[in-house]
Amino acid sequence: MTAPGGPVPGSAQHGPGQDGSTEGLLRRGLLGLASLSVLAIAFELAAERHWSNAIQLIPWVALVVLVAAIGLARSPRPKAIAAARALAGLALAASAFGIYEHVADNYQVGELDAVYSDSWDHRSIADRVYLAFTKTVGAAPPIAPGVLGQAGLLVLQATVGRGRHAAS
């Protein structure tokens, strides 16, 4: 909404960085979804008491990294946008590591599973990985670290088309 003298106070166009464009709205929506994902992941990690060893602290560090990335992604400065992208990339790497760890943990306990213990050694590696990835065997949910990666991707998408020009 624009008045003859400029943006109307309280409108989407009023204030720094609040351009009111569809692009700006989508960017804020993506960062909002990333923020909600961070909150949900933090709740899940706390509910699971996911802090018993150093490897279990990695997603907590990744959450702090994502909070910083979300904050930096809101900036119009090219260096801040580049930093947000780098931090989101770190969160993606932590996500991939977490997915690997969860699937590997599930795979290791597959031979002890009540349903699959007799046939585990005779199954193909692809079938065993599938059973571990789908949490058919084991208790570690691969989707949980996947959501961490989703939050990182949301931050990356929110920075598309930004940071290419010097700040005006």
% of the chain with per-residue pLDDT over 70: 85
Which residue reads 């923020």 in tokens? Answer: 35
Q: 9-58: per-residue pLDDT in tens?
A: 444 444 444 567 888 899 999 999 999 999 999 999 999 999 999 999 99
Report the residue count for the chain: 168
Tokens representing residue 153 in the block: 């991707």
Q: Is 18 left (phi over 0), alpha (psi -120 to 50) or beta?
A: beta
pTM: 0.81
Q: Is the pLDDT of residue 65 over 90?
A: yes
